[in-house]
Amino acid sequence: MAEPEGTQPGVHVADLEDLRGAAHDRAVLAEARVVLARRLGVPPGEALQHLIWLARDLDIELAEAASLLVKDGGGGPVGAVIADRRAPRAEGEAAERRSVLSDAEDVLRRVTAEDTAGDEQILAGVPDDPAAKAVLHGALDSAAHLVPVRAADGNVADFLFADLNGVAKDMFGRGREELTGLRLLRTDPGAVLSGLFDDYVEVLESGTRLERSSFLYSTAQRGLSRSSRMSVRCVAVPTGVCVSWRYHFAEDRVTRRLERVERLALIGFGEWDLATGEAEWTPQMLANYGLAPDEVPPMPHDLPKVVADDDLPLVEEAVQTMFSRREPVEAEHRVIGQDGAPRHLWVFAEPVLGESGLPVSINIVSQDITRRRGVERALAETRRQMLRQQARTAQERRVAVTLRRAILPDEDQVEQLPGLVTGLRSLAAESTARIGGDWFATRTLEDGRGMFAIGDAAGHGLPAAAAMARTRNGLLGLACTGEPAGRLVGWLNELVGTMDPPATGTAVVGHFDASGRVLKWTCAGHPPPILVRDGRAAPLEVVRDPMLGAMPGWDYTTITTELQSGDMLFLYTDGLVERRDADLDERIVRLTGILQDSAVRPDLVLDEVLARMEHDRAADDTTLFALYVE
């Protein structure tokens, strides 16, 4: 049915407009996420969430919001501050554990070298000690009866576990059965490291009592180190000393959790004792106000001295409210750091009243919200810029619609060609954002041939409309030369390739000679025409040459097709067959089947195709051309 003029092989350029559109949306979204992350000073994942919120706020699709952001340009940070909340590293803790292990190993090497052959004899010689038994039975915490082991010079070298109560557990979980009869320093070298051993000796020799509350205790055994806060009591008994202890594991966990909460949320706590004039602030509270850990926190009347000048009235009013009205207050103020940058703090404070009804202390909580305020400022500025870009884009769309209406003739004004009955439907996308570059053209040449063309400039909006106008007008100007379709499209390819900005597009251009019913046509990356003849429909065989603007200097093939009276050619743009939820080839097969069963009149064919193809007018422009051979 078709005979190509010339033997140059063409390259197959598949119609990948849908795939390109999806890939383009993903690329724009990825670029917008990076742009917003840089502007806000936040990780890309958080930037994506902010982009979603911006799209919701502006009541637009996410892809459109991303496109607005990218079009507006990258820009730099707009004031956001990245919070210094990196994941905690274990180097410091590891170094401390290594130090404890090293010191404990030194102690163990020393005490292991001592002779323990007489330990059983020492324990056997310990008389009954009712006082020690009373202490062990009465202790609610872990308790042990220790008897001294003396060196040759009479000094205490170690202690032996003579007995323990039933609840006794050491740092490694060992109890009465494991520890009885063993030496203290061999099982717990931390007693030396913490000074407890010397304290026990002092209690033994002087008869004084020992009580140490909640101190940090570390020990080691078999290459393992353990630490916890603990409390210890020690009393002398006739045969040695009795020691009771408690590990504050639960309290330690709570303390660590509170410290982590303060660090993660940048929340600090402070307490002012108005009676003594003393202040106790947590490390994060000091950090929030830019104070070093060893600096003295300011009292309430000194607080305005560390506040930014513009916020002084607010802070003074809050302090006055606490003392005069005796009510809790909350306020935001700024603190100027040593680097001159402001730090935003949200502060909650409440007075604690005594029996007289007057404040005796004040509790204060502060949260560093500098990063949040920075992100809010950057988001507000980004939103303003997106609104401006949205207004510019809307203007461009209005211009694109106007340009399309000005360039393309109305359907009833399309020039009828010799020997053909022409039907046309040109539907602009219902969404102005999706108005594309569909175009069509007809012209009767001086030699009596009829030229017709259909095409699609890639993209949407004003750039696509401008490319459409230049492509269509360029073809109509070139058509006056009377050259074959392949040469016309080759020239058109050079024109599109040199456009500024660069453009691409597809087209089918044909010449129909009514005297011999001969069609000579060229396809540049466009879906080929469908020929309906004698109740059958099939796409014309085509040499699929590259799309316009893709390959400069390409020689396009002119294809010759013999037509008959009663034949109908159907041309269309991709808006008719492309759906993101459907296969393109299946849609073309469906269109071919509809044409095979359709009426003969071009106008009726076009209406039937539009009704049965269920095309999405919101997604893209759609242009249909039906040419009936008389």
| Higher local confidence (pLDDT), 431 or 90 | 431
Q: Does domain 408-629 have CATH number 3.20.20.70?
A: no
Is residue 74 very low, low, confident or very high in pLDDT (cuts 50, 70, 90)? low
Dist CA 161 CA 144 (whole Å): 7
Dist CA 174 CA 496 (whole Å): 86
Which residues have a Cβ under 8 Å from the Cβ of 117 and sit 6 or more positions away? none
Is residue 99 very low, low, confident or very high in pLDDT (cuts 50, 70, 90)? low
**pLDDT attached to residue 17:** 47
Least confident stretch, 73-77, 448-452, 505-509: 73-77
255-373 has which fold?
Beta-Lactamase (3.30.450)
Taking the alpha carbons at both ends of the chain, their separation in whole angstroms is 19
**pLDDT attached to residue 468:** 87
DSSP code of residue 290: T
The domain segmentation of the chain, as residue ranges, is 28-73, 133-247, 255-373, 408-629
- Per-residue pLDDT reduced to its tens digit, 154-171: 999 999 999 999 999 998
Q: How many CB atoms lie within 10 A of CB 311?
A: 18
Is residue 336 very low, low, confident or very high in pLDDT (cuts 50, 70, 90)? confident
Contact of 122 with 194, CB cutoff 8 Å: no
**pLDDT attached to residue 383:** 87
| CATH for the stretch 133-247 | 3.30.450.20
**pLDDT attached to residue 232:** 96
**pLDDT attached to residue 3:** 42
Is-same-fold flag (133-247; 408-629)?
A: no
Cis peptide, bond prior to residue 501, ω within 30 of zero:
yes
Query: What is the β-pairing status of strands 2-5 and 622-629?
Result: unpaired
Q: 212 by DSSP, 3-state: which?
A: strand
- Per-residue pLDDT reduced to its tens digit, 366-387: 999 988 888 888 888 888 888 8
Closest to 429 in 3D by CA, of 579, 571, 623:
623
